[in-house]
């Protein structure tokens, strides 16, 4: 289990990660989402043992990750801006990683290189952005690491490759019990694969929850009343977001499905429908509550 306790990171006077506490269960797929500059990459770099927290601690299985070589042997970091040595080929890179990761699975590497139709003897510098990402993912999956730290890994992958990577992750989770921690802006991607979500905003963590629980706890409802908006009757409802188009109200509310249904039914709406809430909508709603309003950005 990865445990972040009040992890804090300052870049000069800027607090990039502000007392973040979260737990990531082994075997889960943890999605790290957040607004721009929220500190996702910094948090991920701390989890991977690249950065040392200025305050607090990051532990994996109760051991500090920073400068812990045996522990880092179980981790693999895929950067959003990957570095490859000048003139290196995937084969060279595989040999390079094999020196650091003794458990590196060369057969699987060969298999995946063929599956992704990547030439292992071609210089990586000639690869496209997506192909470079594929190489990094292959290295990560074949390294034998139990914890994969992926920073915007799906960015640049074509839909087929994206799906393939997701499948590979799922396969490794099932077979080896790996724990991918994926930081991304693309919430739709995370929604498909993650079972746990951490939402970072301006350096601090807003929440870290099971995705299903989160979805069950937030609902989008569309309602039409033949009268005015029944504010008093809905006072028991935790409305996170309200939008009106003509007589149609769209509300994002917090609470169990039953609670929400009961309260709204009592107002005797002409039309009432509960819609599934996407991760993106949850993100917008949650960040809007603490003042990160998409509308203010658009105006």
Partner 1 sequence: MTSNRSFFNLQRELIRRNIILPVLSGVGFFFVLPLLTLMMIQSKLNYYLLRYTEIETEKFINEFVRDNLLSTRYDGVKVGIIIMATLAGIMLFRYLHNRKQVDFFHSLPISRGNLFIQLYLTGFLSVIPLYIIMYLLAIICAFAMGAGSLLTAGLIFKTIIINILFFLLFYSLAVLATILTGNTFVAIVIYALLNSVIFLTTTIISELFSYWFDTYVYISILDNIGLYSFPLYLYFYGSNMFNTIGDVKYLSTQTFIGIVIAIIVLIILSYVLFKIRKSERAGSSLAFYKTKAPLKCYLVLIAGYLLMFMFSSIAGASWRYVGIVFGIILSHMVLEALYNFDIHSLFKNWKTMIALLIVGVGFFTIMKADIIGYDSKLPNKENITGVSINTYYNGSKHFSSNISNFDFLTSTENIENVYNLAEYAVKNLDNVNYNQDDFYLDENTTSLLVKYTLKNGNEMIRRYLVPISDEFDSYLEAIILTDDYKQHEFNSVFSLDLDSTESIEVYINRSIYNDNITGVVTDTKESFEIIEAIKEESLTLTKEQAENTVPLLNIDFEVEYKRDYNYIAHGTSYGNYIDSVPVYPTYTKTLALISKYYDFTPQSITVDDISRIDITKYPDDTELLQSETSDSNYYTVAITDKETIAKLIENSIPHDIAICASPLLKLDETPLTDISVVFNSQNSTPIYYLEGTAPLELINQLI
DSSP state of 299: -
Which residues are CB-contacts of 11 (< 8 A; sequence separation ≥ 6)? Answer: 42
**Where in 7-26 is the site for partner 1 (CB under 8 A)?**
9, 11-12
Which residues are CB-contacts of 293 (< 8 A; sequence separation ≥ 6)? Answer: none
**Where in 26-45 is the site for partner 1 (CB under 8 A)?**
45
Binding segment (CB under 8 A) for partner 1, from list 50-58, 117-125, 186-194, 204-212: 50-58
Question: Contact 149/47 with Cβ under 8 angstroms?
Answer: yes
Give the x-and-dash track for 200-239 against partner 1 (CB under 8 A): ----------------------------------------
Least gap, CB of 159 to partner 1 (angstroms): 27
**Where in 130-169 is the site for partner 1 (CB under 8 A)?**
149
**Where in 58-87 is the site for partner 1 (CB under 8 A)?**
67, 69-70, 72-73, 75-77, 79, 81-83, 85
CB closer to partner 1 out of 104 and 116: 104
Query: How far are the Cα atoms of 196, 210, 231 from residue 183, in angstroms, in the given order?
Result: 12, 16, 39
Dist. CA 180–CA 26, nearest whole Å: 9
CB closer to partner 1 out of 151 and 286: 151
Least gap, CB of 73 to partner 1 (angstroms): 4
271-275 β-sheet, strand order: 238-245, 248-254, 218-224, 271-275
CB closer to partner 1 out of 56 and 230: 56
Dist. CA 149–CA 153, nearest whole Å: 9
SS3 at position 133: helix
- Of 31, 34, 49, 255, the one binding partner 1 (CB under 8 A) is 49
Beta bridge partners of 55: 8
Beta bridge partners of 9: 17
**Should residue 57 be labelled a site residue for partner 1 when binding is judged by CB under 8 A?**
no
Q: How many residues bind partner 1 (CB under 8 A)?
A: 30
Question: Contact 97/75 with Cβ under 8 angstroms?
Answer: no
Residue ranges binding partner 1 (CB under 8 A): 9, 11-12, 45, 48-52, 67, 69-70, 72-73, 75-77, 79, 81-83, 85, 88, 95-96, 99-102, 149
């Amino acid at each position: 289990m990865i445990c972040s306790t009040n992890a804090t990171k300052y870049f000069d006077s800027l607090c990039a990660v502000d007392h973040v506490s979260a737990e990531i269960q082994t075997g889960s797929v943890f999605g790290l989402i957040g607004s721009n500059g929220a500190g996702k990459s910094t948090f991920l770099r701390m989890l991977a043992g690249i950065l040392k927290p200025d305050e607090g601690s990051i532990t994996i299985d109760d051991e500090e990750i920073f400068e812990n070589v045996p522990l880092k042997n179980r981790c693999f970091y895929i950067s959003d801006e990957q570095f490859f040595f000048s003139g290196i080929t995937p084969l060279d890179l595989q040999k390079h990683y094999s020196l650091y990761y003794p458990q590196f699975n060369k057969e699987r590497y060969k298999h995946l290189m063929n599956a992704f139709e990547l030439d292992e003897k071609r210089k990586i510098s000639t690869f496209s952005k997506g192909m470079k990402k594929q190489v990094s993912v292959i290295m990560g999956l074949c390294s034998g690491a139990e914890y994969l730290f992926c920073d915007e890994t799906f960015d640049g992958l074509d839909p087929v490759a994206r799906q393939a990577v997701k499948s590979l992750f799922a396969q490794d989770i099932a077979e080896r019990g790996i724990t991918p921690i994926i930081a991304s802006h693309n919430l739709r991607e995370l929604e498909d694969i993650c079972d746990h979500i951490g939402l970072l905003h301006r350096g601090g963590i807003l929440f870290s929850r099971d995705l299903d629980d989160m979805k069950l706890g937030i609902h989008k409802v569309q309602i039409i009343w033949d009268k005015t908006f029944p504010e008093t009757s809905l006072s028991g409802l935790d409305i996170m977001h309200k939008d009106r188009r003509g007589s149609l109200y769209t509300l994002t509310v917090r609470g169990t499905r039953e609670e929400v249904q009961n309260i709204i039914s009592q107002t005797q709406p002409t039309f009432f429908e509960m819609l599934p809430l996407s991760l993106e909508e949850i993100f917008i709603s949650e960040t809007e509550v603490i003042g990160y309003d998409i509308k203010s950005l658009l105006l």
